[in-house]
Amino acid sequence: MSVDSGLATFRGTDGLWEGHEISEVATLEGWFNDPGKVLEFYNQRRAQSFAAKPNEGHIAVAELEEYFDVTVITQNVDDLHERGGSTNVVHLHGLLREARSMDDPNIITDIGKEEIKLGDKASDGTQLRPNIVWFGEPVPLIEQAASLISTADICIVIGTSLVVYPAAGLTDYVKVNAPKYIVDPSNPEIHTYDEWVHIKEPAKTGMVKLKEKLIKEFK
């Protein structure tokens, strides 16, 4: 979704994120090996995300709230959905604009675009770390997301390869008879395309078309 706003995907086809090995910047092992490097990496990503602007896809999703009860479940760690106007967003993998305690994941601070430095402490006295779900860590909101999807009347999958679990497994919870749409220029790895309408375009153009289609068909 945010690629069309100039932000790199969490993990590219080469297994890297902005040229860095995932194991170095997105795992607990990477953090314990070199916390300074990890903090600097996310400080740069945070600055990039604040410099980016919501694209037409983000705005189209937000505009659907005029006609539907919309919940966005995203793997993206930027806040472009919120800045695009969406009011109900579930961030499965955390948020760049938040920092949290090393020991207590419930102690979260909204730092905006500020940097996190070594020595910056949470209220419990532990080092602040990015509030990002790293590889190998549990995804705290996955059960909430599964529950939301299981009750949805319409499901839209936007701009994901559907290879990163557990998020990729959420499509298994969609109601059998619910209309299902995929907006992505590639072919996400889904069990079967028989039940899905595939709009093979980037989010910024595909979502604009899908928004008009949904309004015409269901409103």
Residues with catalytic roles: 93
H helices of the chain, where?
Answer: 22-25, 28-33, 35-51, 56-63, 80-84, 142-150, 203-218
Question: What are φ and ψ of residue 151, in 5° steps?
Answer: -105, 0
CB 83 within 8 A of CB 49: no
Q: What is the CA radius of gyration of the chain?
A: 18
Asked if the peptide bond before residue 130 counts as cis, ω within 30 degrees of 0, the response is: no
